[in-house]
Amino acid sequence: MFIINACVFLVILLLVPALNSKNYSTSVSIKQGTLEGSVRKTWGGRTIFAFQGIPYAEPPIGNRRFQPPLPAQPWEGVLNATKSHPFCPQSDVFRNDLQVYGKENCLFLNVYAPNVTDEQYPLPVIVFIHGGGFISDSGNPELYGPDILLDKDLVLVTVNYRLGALGFLSLEDDILPGNNGLKDQNIALLWVRDNIESFGGDPGKITIFGNSAGGASVYYHILSPLSRGLFHATISSSGIATSPWALAKPGEGRAAARKLAKSLNCSASSSEEIVKCLQGVDAHDIVRLVQNLMEFHYECSIPHRPVIEPKNPGAFISDHPIDIIKSGEFSQVPYMLGLTANDGALKSAAIYANHSLVERLNNEFEDIVPIMLFYGDQNFKQRITAIIRKFYFNDRSIGNDTKSELTDVLTDGYFYYPQRATSEIHAKYSSQPVYFYLFGYKGTLRASAYFGDPTYDYGVCHCDDLNYILNHQYMSSYRPTEADLKMNNLMTTLLYNFAKTGKPTPEITSVLKTQWKALKDNEFRYYSIIGPDDVTMRDRLFEDRYNFWKKLDIYPKLQSEGEPISNVI
């Protein structure tokens, strides 16, 4: 962060040329008022302008808690936009840090713009939506900084949105329909459309890009009538709305909300009374209590996630994602999606960092796996669990020699199967191209160490692809290799091309030597990124595992026709 006092600021203005004749600089006027930002440098040494902590919605506090967001009001004077503002209340369950952080007044976004010549404006825009399972993380630069991506000629926006029960509590009725975290993102997109030109961005070339829960959020915006027309291309990294952790089944949201209300002494007969009571509870107490409802690791801290809302004019989504796709009533824009080769290490590394969790998983496999994979309500869950144990573990005990197998189960169930199955359905009903990728580059940084276990090579973990797009505070001692830097250039070039043209490889270059071909009807193919000089188009990806999940009747909307495997074996 750069906090610039008056003297230093004047010196910087003398040293750094104005953006161009349109006078883009650290002082920008938008519809709400005037902002004073700061100057920072990218990894490539480029000067960029940073505007942090811009309010895009009214504070969701008091009687605004659990309500849809309202656009932020104008301010008087000059707003200090030189530092991060609070992120939304949360605890970092993915790293087993159960302390509660954050403030409810958290609906801020950040804008980063490069200093380029007049002829290059307006620039394509990427709006990044952070992940964190709808329960943690933020868009602040400590976690998602601009210093890699902004070596390209584009404007970057990162967004904070409400999390956990504060963002996704739902009684599945008209009083508390839910999805307020997604509605926050929607209001942020409206803000971007209306204001981004003031930062040199092109409101006609907005790409939304999300990782994990952010990737699922991107897909929800594709589906939602509220977000139609607010973007022109989309990217989902390791997450989609049809992932089991990204969509509550009918009744689950209501049950979770009533359970939370009861635990906070807010049980009541009417939804109005429940909401009013919960609005009076300390926000940190709500976050803290959700932790106490965990059954195994952090599964049951995600009971408050997106839901299918009752049909009304303000609903964000009111049908199942697959039904919406098959109806054709969704945003017809280019779509890029993919995953890392070992995405499931997000969770397996955390489990293996705690020996007691490994023992418990082995001893209670039949009870825990249905919770982990979100099929605990299935009639044949014991049979399904036995089939999974046979296929992945060959009925072996869960121990130190099954780290890769557990990672594969979680990779397939959480990420690969729902993403591939949905992408094939999406491509069939979309008039725009769908591009699929697998990121398999083993670079210097490994997120599996961040998630808990630095002692084992889990492969290419969840979020490892982001290390070559957005920088974060854990890179302070990072010394990238030449291959890492080339991967930075490859990944950011793909994103820049896609944001500018809707095609990741509009032409073959020395950086992008292989054309990325879109999916076709009945023909799955993907861009395999193994190294900066090892990028190919392929058509077979974990085929035995994919075919196994196609017949495993856990996700009925994605399941292929034919008898489910749980009835056959």
Instruction: Identify residue 193 by its one-letter amino acid code.
Output: R
Compute the half-sphere exposure of residue 465: CA atoms within 13 Å on the CB side of its CA: 29
For residue 18, the 8-state DSSP code is: P
Distance of CA 392 to the CA centre of its chain: 28
Catalytic residue among 212, 224, 271, 348: 212
For residue 213, the 8-state DSSP code is: H
Q: Which helix (H) or strand (E) holds 294?
A: none
Write out 26-72 in H/E/C secondary structure.
Answer: CEEEECCEEEECEEEECCCCCEEEEEEEEECECCCCHHHCCCCCCEC
C-alpha to C-alpha distance for 126 and 141, rounded to whole angstroms: 15
> What is the three-class DSSP state of 337?
strand
Which sign, positive or negative, has the C-alpha torsion 29, 33, 36, 39?
negative
Backbone angles phi, psi at 559, to 5 degrees: -70, 140
Name which of 448, 369, 377, 449 is nearest 414 in CA terms.
369
> What is the three-class DSSP state of 110?
strand
C-alpha to C-alpha distance for 177 and 174, rounded to whole angstroms: 5
Note if 212 is an active site residue: yes
Whose tokens are 């054309």? That residue is 515
Backbone angles phi, psi at 91, to 5 degrees: -130, 150
Please check whether residue 436 is in contact with residue 519, taking contact to mean a CB–CB distance below 8 angstroms: yes
For residue 415, the 8-state DSSP code is: I
Give me the active site residues, please: 212
